[in-house]
Amino acid sequence: AVWASAAAAQTDPLPSWSDGPTKQAIIGFVTDVTREGSPDFLPVAQRIATFDNDGTLWIEQPIYVQFAFALDRVRELAPQHPEWSRTQPFKDVLEGKMEALAGLGEHAAVEIVATTHAGMTPDQFLQIVKNWLATAEHPRFQRRYVELLYQPMLEVLSYMRANGFATYIVSGGGIEFMRAFAPEQYGIPPEQIVGSSIVTTFERRDGLPDLFRLPKVNFVDDGPGKPVGINQHIGLRPVAAFGNSDGDLEMLQWTTEAGKRRLGVVVRHTDAEREYAYDRDSKVGRLDKALDAAVLDRWAVVDMKHDWKVIFPFEKR
Residues that bind a copy of itself (CB under 8 A): 45, 122, 166, 175-176, 179, 189-193, 197, 200-202, 208-211, 224-225, 227-228, 231-236, 250, 253-254, 257
224 binds, among Ca ion, a copy of itself, none (CB under 5 to 8 A by kind): a copy of itself
| Nearest CA-CA partner of 176 in 240, 135, 219 | 219
List, in order, residues 6 or more apart from 103 with CB less than 8 Å away: none
Give me the least distance between CB of 79 and a copy of itself, in Å please.
Answer: 30
54 binds, among Ca ion, a copy of itself, none (CB under 5 to 8 A by kind): Ca ion
Give me the least distance between CB of 19 and Ca ion, in Å please.
Answer: 26
Query: Which is closer to Ca ion, CB of 22 or CB of 244?
Result: 244
CB–CB of 115/214 below 8 Å?
no
233 binds, among a copy of itself, Ca ion, none (CB under 5 to 8 A by kind): a copy of itself
Distances (CA, A) of 148 to 61, 151, 169, 236, 259: 11, 9, 17, 31, 36
Alpha carbons 130 and 177: distance in angstroms, whole number: 9
Instruction: Tell me the angle at which helices 151-162 and 21-34 cross, rounded to the nearest 10 degrees.
Output: 20
Query: Which is closer to Ca ion, CB of 245 or CB of 270?
Result: 245
Query: Which is closer to a copy of itself, CB of 21 or CB of 190?
Result: 190
19 binds, among a copy of itself, Ca ion, none (CB under 5 to 8 A by kind): none
Rg (CA), the chain: 20
52 binds, among Ca ion, a copy of itself, none (CB under 5 to 8 A by kind): Ca ion
Query: Which is closer to a copy of itself, CB of 200 or CB of 245?
Result: 200
Query: Which is closer to a copy of itself, CB of 31 or CB of 171?
Result: 171
Give me the least distance between CB of 284 and a copy of itself, in Å please.
Answer: 23
231 binds, among a copy of itself, Ca ion, none (CB under 5 to 8 A by kind): a copy of itself
245 binds, among a copy of itself, Ca ion, none (CB under 5 to 8 A by kind): Ca ion
Interaction site with Ca ion (CB under 5 A): 52, 54-55, 244-245
Give me the least distance between CB of 48 and a copy of itself, in Å please.
Answer: 9
Give me the least distance between CB of 204 and a copy of itself, in Å please.
Answer: 8
55 binds, among a copy of itself, Ca ion, none (CB under 5 to 8 A by kind): Ca ion
Query: Which is closer to Ca ion, CB of 245 or CB of 253?
Result: 245
Give me the least distance between CB of 212 and a copy of itself, in Å please.
Answer: 10
CB–CB of 233/43 below 8 Å?
no
Alpha carbons 290 and 243: distance in angstroms, whole number: 9
Query: Which is closer to a copy of itself, CB of 28 or CB of 183?
Result: 183
Query: Which is closer to a copy of itself, CB of 28 or CB of 122?
Result: 122
